[in-house]
Structure 1
């Protein structure tokens, strides 16, 4: 990881909650400056001041809205197309939306430190909280940051709670403390082991098996988004980069290299108008540009997937 403006805070120790993004979209549509008036936002959103600040963080991280110099938020095209009144998924009922939100958080560079490190740099298939926190301390110091253990600990907890349900039992989505990305099942509890203090700790693993809910058009969309940000001038891109580079589709979605290869091959066979052409090779398989990238409309026109 090269030194960069990674974000370690701003979420106020809250993971994004299920109802927040649709509410934020509607609130900004009515009043683009609402999140710069915390008292008004508290009344409008029905949440506390720290949660207002947290939501302001998440609408940026999830590419729902961007702040401008006039202390207003401008809703993104993604937000209008997906969360708008005639949008593809205004209430986050479609699993493809959740994968897209996960992609937005995880693929930015620089972006959120925990997402970049745990999804792109963590070298093991599983981790405990103490193991990850020790790694955060070492890595942040190596990058020249001087964050307190409290800041790093809260940042790690937000990452974990974004993908792992802290509590069980059925509650209304509106009242749930769990966030929308818990439903992706990306992070699973795989056991327990003793930590350095002698206490038992949860062992978390990334779910790496094939994920059919990441549909072909969604995968192709993310491949091209990654390509256009990582190497916009390059006409070709290697399978290895797509599967293993930090912020790549393979790492963000926790797909094996074989799964990424199979997806590229399937796209080449099934879609003559795909944005890329796959060139298999025993040495270094490649894709080359050949057409326009899928749009959000083409993603949502595939067979629907609901949470």
Structure 2
């Protein structure tokens, strides 16, 4: 949620982007046996993947906040149970709901500690069109000059660039569609025949307002002493904090339209005010925590 140069991570996905089925299957496996991910031979059979993929599945489960790991093994978080557990009412155990996918994306791209490369791309990299080479140059500059980590391996940074583009960009002619990430459906990165890729800020009318509600609630929860957050920070994230506007690739007009829609639906949760010339979003008296937002959404979707 907040970038800290002392706590960063690159390339821990073993070069594997998040794939269809990994989060549900990984969650189910650790619910059956919390030690599954610590038993590679058993995990390989149960999950139907190779050893490196087992590590990648564990990484994505942790990065999305679906599980935590300690000496006693892996344990489902309340968030993980809310989405995947069969004994919860509602939920989205097969990741079929667009709102869940947008929230999974937010959880990854806002995780500055465990997915620093993804956090950098969605919160700090502003070029609308780019190539793999330009992305690597941008990430290298960020690592060297902002994080002051000049000894980072170029191969590690390249693996993050590859994971970002493969996880979000649907590439024409690819023959392994069944293995692609569900996040390609969000349209946040597209193949561009002229410059490699494009990632444009747009109005995104199909962004579920619940995803923005969840993200804003997490931002407020991360700063409980703050009654309001600057709209600029929420739009651009140039203060080292996760930005819903940037992560969802919303234009300014698109962000404000979604915010107006959100405030119309939940009038007691947010209020926009101009304070001393600064446009700020105030937390309302009835702003729920992120899990309550998700629970209400799933129950109302039944």
User: TM exceeds 0.5?
Assistant: yes
SS in structure 2 opposite 1:278?
strand
Q: Say whether residues 1:98 and 2:139 are aligned partners.
A: no
Change (3 A) 1:166 1:188: closer
Q: Does structure 1 retain, via aligned residues, the 8 Å contact 2:98–2:208?
A: no
- Per-residue CA deviation, residues 104-124 of structure 1 (Å, 9 max, x unaligned), is 101123341221211111132
SS in structure 2 opposite 1:295?
helix
Change (3 A) 1:170 1:139: closer
Q: Pick from 143, 148, 155 the counterpart of residue 144 of structure 1.
A: 148
SS in structure 1 opposite 2:216?
helix
Q: Does structure 1 retain, via aligned residues, the 8 Å contact 2:10–2:160?
A: yes
SS in structure 2 opposite 1:208?
coil
Which segments of 5 or more consecutive residues in structure 2 lack a partner in the other structure?
none
Q: Report the aligned-residue RMSD.
A: 2.2
Q: Does structure 1 retain, via aligned residues, the 8 Å contact 2:217–2:287?
A: no
Give the structure 2 partner of residue 198 of structure 1: none
Q: Does structure 1 retain, via aligned residues, the 8 Å contact 2:100–2:211?
A: no
- The whole-number CA distance in structure 1 between the counterparts of 2:40 and 2:172 is 29
Give the structure 2 partner of residue 224 of structure 1: 217
TM-score (norm 1): 0.87
Give the structure 1 partner of residue 202 of structure 2: 209
Give the structure 2 partner of residue 158 of structure 1: 163
Q: Does structure 2 retain, via aligned residues, the 8 Å contact 1:95–1:213?
A: no
Q: Say whether residues 1:287 and 2:281 are aligned partners.
A: yes
- The whole-number CA distance in structure 1 between the counterparts of 2:274 and 2:299 is 29
- The whole-number CA distance in structure 2 between the counterparts of 1:112 and 1:147 is 15
SS in structure 2 opposite 1:98?
helix
SS in structure 1 opposite 2:165?
helix
Q: Say whether residues 1:298 and 2:299 are aligned partners.
A: no
TM-score (norm 2): 0.88
Q: Pick from 233, 257, 263 the counterpart of residue 241 of structure 1.
A: 233
- The whole-number CA distance in structure 2 between the counterparts of 1:77 and 1:167 is 38
Q: Does structure 2 retain, via aligned residues, the 8 Å contact 1:162–1:179?
A: yes
- The whole-number CA distance in structure 2 between the counterparts of 1:240 and 1:268 is 18
Shift of 1:303: 6.4
- The whole-number CA distance in structure 1 between the counterparts of 2:213 and 2:296 is 10
- Per-residue CA deviation, residues 144-167 of structure 1 (Å, 9 max, x unaligned), is 321222111111101111101346
Which segments of 5 or more consecutive residues in structure 1 lack a partner in the other structure?
194-201
- The whole-number CA distance in structure 2 between the counterparts of 1:2 and 1:57 is 20
Give the structure 2 partner of residue 268 of structure 1: 263
